[in-house]
């Protein structure tokens, strides 16, 4: 019985650490989006990241993706970002969908994260106009 309790506690501790890492990256990414901070945002990218912007789309290395996002943020100064939805995709990736309010209009942001060991990394980010 004692072994079962220890095993149960280990599972709970491991699970809570994993959930905390997901929420930590979500809040850090959200803060970077609010500030238009492409440098901080790129710290959470995988080595190759899919980027969709109104003027750019493709798979890029971290440095090039950061450059494209910096350009976007310089023309669309962020005022606010709020996560509206979150979940798990069919590929077992975590995703977040939120609203980005900028000086040049509103955008829907979707980012997909993959668990790499103990870290969650962004594998795809989309910033698309909402039409508002």
> Mean pLDDT, to the nearest integer, of 52-66?
96
Task: Decide the pairing of beta strands 45-53 and 119-129.
Answer: parallel
- Is the pLDDT higher at 101 or at 88? 101
For residues 29 and 6, what is the distance between their CA atoms, to the nearest angstrom? Answer: 35
Is pLDDT at 19 greater than 70 in this prediction?
A: no
Question: To the nearest whole percent, how much of the chain has pLDDT over 70?
Answer: 82
User: For the whole model, what pTM was predicted?
Assistant: 0.81
Cα diameter, the chain: 62
Closest CA to 109 of 63, 59, 52, 38: 52
Query: pLDDT of 81-90, one tens digit each?
Result: 999 999 988 8
> Mean pLDDT, to the nearest integer, of 76-98?
92
Question: To the nearest whole percent, how much of the chain has pLDDT over 90?
Answer: 70
CB 120, CB 127: distance < 8 Å: no
For residues 5 and 9, what is the distance between their CA atoms, to the nearest angstrom? Answer: 6
Is pLDDT at 50 greater than 70 in this prediction?
A: yes
> Could you tell me which CATH class the domain 2-129 is placed in?
alpha beta
CB 24, CB 18: distance < 8 Å: no
For residues 70 and 74, what is the distance between their CA atoms, to the nearest angstrom? Answer: 6
- Residue 91 binned pLDDT confidence (cut-offs 50, 70, 90): confident
Is pLDDT at 127 greater than 60 in this prediction?
A: yes
Radius of gyration, alpha carbons of the chain: 17
Is pLDDT at 33 greater than 50 in this prediction?
A: yes
pLDDT confidence of residue 93 = 87
Report which secondary-structure segment, H or E, holds 115.
strand 105-116
pLDDT confidence of residue 80 = 96
């Amino acid at each position: 019985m004692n072994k079962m309790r220890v095993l149960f506690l280990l599972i709970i501790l491991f699970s809570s650490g994993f959930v905390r890492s997901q929420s930590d990256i979500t809040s850090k990414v959200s803060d970077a989006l609010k500030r238009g901070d492409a440098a901080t945002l790129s710290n959470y990218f995988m080595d190759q990241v899919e980027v969709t912007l109104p003027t750019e789309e493709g798979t890029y290395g971290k440095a090039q993706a950061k450059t494209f996002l910096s350009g976007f943020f310089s023309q669309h100064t962020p005022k606010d970002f709020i996560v509206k939805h979150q979940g798990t995709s069919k590929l077992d990736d975590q995703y977040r969908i939120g609203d980005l309010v900028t000086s040049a209009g509103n955008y829907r942001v979707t980012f997909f994260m993959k668990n790499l060991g103990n870290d969650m990394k962004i594998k795809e980010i989309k910033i698309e106009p909402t039409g508002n």
